[in-house]
Amino acid sequence: MRKKHTSLVKYVKCTPFGKMLDNIINGDLASLSSVLNVSDSFIIMVQKGQKPVPEYWFSTIQEAYNLSNSTMSELRHAAEISKPVLKIKMYEQNLNDEQRELSLIFADKIENISSDTINEIKRLLIKEEE
């Protein structure tokens, strides 16, 4: 008989996706691993941000746990901000020299940017979209 694992969130640092997924499954990794046909350890690696979220998980989880489209939208957003690696395809996206330079500076300095500065940058970027 498979051992039922308790909530991972209590013991290790999880990504926003990992926390939300743990809440959806009520900490029952054994059940989720059966639903997704993957090992518990693979799910844990995804929850911790060590592996990306496989695309098929979204439809499978939505169906298995009867989740609303709104909840799925939140789960996808959590997965997006939980990606272990973010690639910027500077030439494929036709970024100019200034945009590429800004991308590199931002990547280099992100760990030291204060919350206030982050919020200001987000405000400026959202304002640009409007």
Judgement on whether residues 65 and 111 belong to the same structural domain of the protein: no
Write the DSSP assignment of 39-57 as a string of letters. Answer: -HHHHHHHHTTSSPPPTHH
Question: Measuring CA to CA, which residue among 68, 66, 27 is closest to residue 47?
Answer: 27
pTM (2 d.p.): 0.72
Tell me what pLDDT residue 9 has. Answer: 55
Residue 89 within any structural domain of the chain: no
Judgement on whether residues 34 and 65 belong to the same structural domain of the protein: yes
Q: pLDDT tens digits, residue range 71-120?
A: 999 999 999 999 888 788 877 778 889 988 988 898 888 899 999 999 99
Q: Which domain holds residue 51?
A: 8-81
DSSP classification of residue 38: S
Judgement on whether residues 14 and 54 belong to the same structural domain of the protein: yes
Tell me what pLDDT residue 2 has. Answer: 47
Residue 87 within any structural domain of the chain: no
Judgement on whether residues 17 and 72 belong to the same structural domain of the protein: yes
Residue 13 within any structural domain of the chain: yes
Residue 90 within any structural domain of the chain: no
Total count of domains within the chain: 2
CATH number of the domain where residue 66 is located: 1.10.260
Judgement on whether residues 40 and 104 belong to the same structural domain of the protein: no
Tell me what pLDDT residue 1 has. Answer: 44
Judgement on whether residues 41 and 74 belong to the same structural domain of the protein: yes
Average pLDDT, the chain: 87
E strands in the chain = none
**Chain position carrying tokens 């959590």:** 78
Judgement on whether residues 70 and 102 belong to the same structural domain of the protein: no
For residue 20, pLDDT over 50 is answered with yes
For residue 51, pLDDT over 60 is answered with yes
